[in-house]
Amino acid sequence: MKALIQRVSEASVTFGEPPVTRRISQGFVVLLGIGKNDAPDAAKWMAEKTANLRIFSNEEGKFDKSLLDIGGECLVVSQFTLYGDAKKGRRPDFTLAAAPQDALAIYKLFIAELKKTGIRNVQEGEFQAHMRVSLTNDGPVTIMIET
């Protein structure tokens, strides 16, 4: 499992017809990729890691506060392309990504586990849909976490 976490001052995702938009204020956008060898138990670990990742500044400007500490929000977007391998050729190979039915179960489990941590607002994109993600990266701060 891979999570590309971006600290944001605001973000939204729009998808569907008619368009549906989901928004958050200060917090994280989590682009979540599920690999074909990922097990469901990784979702709980990743959710805990995300909620407690200290990448918000304290009074001295040091990374010392988590999403929970600041009362932040979280927008989760499925992103199988995190498993794209572009070492050979010009088109990425996605064979390391989980099959959609397997990925969906772990994606939903991650969101459920994230909500259990106490994050006050967890929003999500639409799995396997074309989405338009808009965000204001704060810092910028972007962290990759892998299980």
With CA atoms as reference, report the closest residue to 131 among 1, 17, 7.
Answer: 17
Does 142 qualify as catalytic in the annotation?
Answer: no
Q: Can you spell out the DSSP letters for 80-98?
A: GGGG-B-SSSSS-B-TTBP
- Whether residue 138 contacts residue 26, with contact meaning beta carbons closer than 8 Å, is answered with yes
CA atoms within 13 A of residue 105's CA, in its CB half-sphere: 10
Torsion of CA 71, 80, 34, 64, to 10 degrees: -30
Catalytic one of 81, 95, 117, 142: 81
Residues noted as catalytic: 81
